[in-house]
Amino acid sequence: MTDRAAGSVRNIAWASYLRSYGLWVLAAVAIFALPHVFDSRANQSMFGQMGIFVVFALSYNMLLGQSGMLSFGHAVYFGFAGFISVHVMRIIESGFAFPVVLLPLFGAAAGLALGIIFGSFSTRRAGTVFAMISLGIAELVGALAFFIGFFGGEEGISGDRMSGPSLPGLSLGPQIQVYYVIAAWTLVAALLMYAITRTPLGRMANAVRDNPERAEFIGYNTQRVRFRMFALSGMFAGVAGALFAIQFEFLQFNNIGVAASGSVLLMTFIGGVGFFMGPILGAILVTFLELELVNVTQAWLLYFGLFFVLMVMFVPAGLAGLIMRHQPIWRAGILHKLAPAYGLALVPSLIFAVGAIGLIEIIYFTSTRAGLNTVMSVYTITFDAVKPLPWIIAGVVAAGGFVLCRLTFPTVRKVWDEVFLEAMAKLNR
């Protein structure tokens, strides 16, 4: 091969790399710039938390989306690695010369080790058996964490991230430094997880998810495939756990049990399990809602539950699925044709939301503060929450919105289908 030919081959390789990794460069820029645009300490802390849960949710999707394993216990690996990291932090405090910024290496090792132990028997089957075993392990570990000294019981354990040797200019004191450490690890972990999707193991995990029987007849032991994905997934959950330890310097039994496991399932599902981007979007959105809704309403958990139910019912492919379905329409350049339909969907949805929010607020208010003060205000309207009228008004608005949704959505769907077909026809031409 001549030099020039070799050069052009290299250029093509570069172009293909840029196409598949170009988005990553963009993400890196955004990750760098964000904490300077929104530069309050609270925002920087929130961005850090988003990074942590992006890694955690991506590791979870190595099981759910890529390998078809529904786990109810993924926080076990996250939490265990987090506790290990806090302990290592304490050892660093008492003289062990190890930089705290490299704690995720310990986290990865801890998550991997525990993943190997629990994965060795739980990955024999996918499906319900696997799901139940994962739930059992989470219950078990969650309960143990309450009693065993290692986990600090009810009080939890804490460490100090500023101890030990630090790299020059990286004391981990200012929140922005913590953020950049988390961001760097997030980027590395996400890149590695993305790369794994494009390896023989990653692809065979998809094959085993789709049709485990056939995979055995082309040479693959399906348990081995699941086991390896499981162990790797535990490893990345461990990285997330260590980052959590660095950010909060504190872990407690509730970081390791079923509830924490449910939360990562929720994020991943809302984001969409069918695309690599899904868990990233889900982790960012859910973390944002969790942190911001608390400031807006005390009934945030109720909204959260409602949001999850609505997503599962109406957008089972998640945010990423929803976005990707618009891709052909966007490429055909006819996205604007959806605007009237979406406008039509928006109005009844808003009416329903207004009614539902009113209702939830009244229910929450009366069920938590009954007997004392009965006067509350919603939408700046002040009223007596034990009188029937506010209930009736909110109920009627919510029900009316719901009925209007039922009436208009078929039309919206019809328009959508037409636009989609038009896009496909355009693209195939």
Cβ at position 170, least distance to another protein in Å: 30
Contact 353, 401 (CB under 8 A): yes
How many angstroms separate the CA atoms of 171 and 213, rounded?
Answer: 53
User: Which amino acid belongs to residue 383?
Assistant: F
Per CB under 8 A, which of residues 15..54 are in contact with another protein?
Answer: 16
For another protein, what does the binding mask look like between residues 321 and 340, x meaning CB under 8 A? Answer: --------------------
Cβ at position 225, least distance to another protein in Å: 7
- In this complex, which beta carbon is closest to another protein, that of residue 36 or of residue 429? 429
- For another protein, the binding residue among 10, 198, 387, 414 (CB under 8 A) is 198
Structure tokens at 216: 């055995």
Cβ at position 198, least distance to another protein in Å: 5
Which window, 112-120, 174-182, 192-200, 413-421, contacts another protein (CB under 8 A)?
192-200
DSSP-derived 3-state class of residue 334: coil
How many angstroms separate the CA atoms of 291 and 247, rounded?
Answer: 15
- For another protein, the binding residue among 93, 139, 160, 216 (CB under 8 A) is 216
**Nearest CA to 72 among 8, 116, 134?**
134
How many angstroms separate the CA atoms of 266 and 104, rounded?
Answer: 24
**Nearest CA to 31 among 50, 8, 7, 12?**
50
- For another protein, the binding residue among 169, 217, 367, 380 (CB under 8 A) is 217
**Nearest CA to 292 among 31, 40, 58?**
40
Cβ at position 338, least distance to another protein in Å: 24
Contact 348, 404 (CB under 8 A): yes
Which window, 38-46, 196-204, 346-354, 382-390, contacts another protein (CB under 8 A)?
196-204
Q: Is 58 in the site for another protein (CB under 8 A)?
A: no
Which window, 35-43, 212-220, 338-346, 370-378, contacts another protein (CB under 8 A)?
212-220
Cβ at position 126, least distance to another protein in Å: 15
Contact 215, 20 (CB under 8 A): no
How many angstroms separate the CA atoms of 415 and 265, rounded?
Answer: 33
- For another protein, the binding residue among 39, 154, 155, 210 (CB under 8 A) is 210
- For another protein, the binding residue among 189, 196, 376, 378 (CB under 8 A) is 196
Cβ at position 217, least distance to another protein in Å: 5
- Contacts for 245 with CB less than 8 Å, ≥ 6 apart: 81, 82, 83, 85, 86, 89, 103, 107, 159, 251
Residue 251 DSSP code:
E
Q: Is 214 in the site for another protein (CB under 8 A)?
A: yes
Q: Is 228 in the site for another protein (CB under 8 A)?
A: yes
User: Which amino acid belongs to residue 211?
Assistant: N
Question: Footprint of another protein on this chain (CB under 8 A)?
Answer: 16, 195-196, 198-204, 206-207, 209-211, 213-221, 224-225, 228, 232
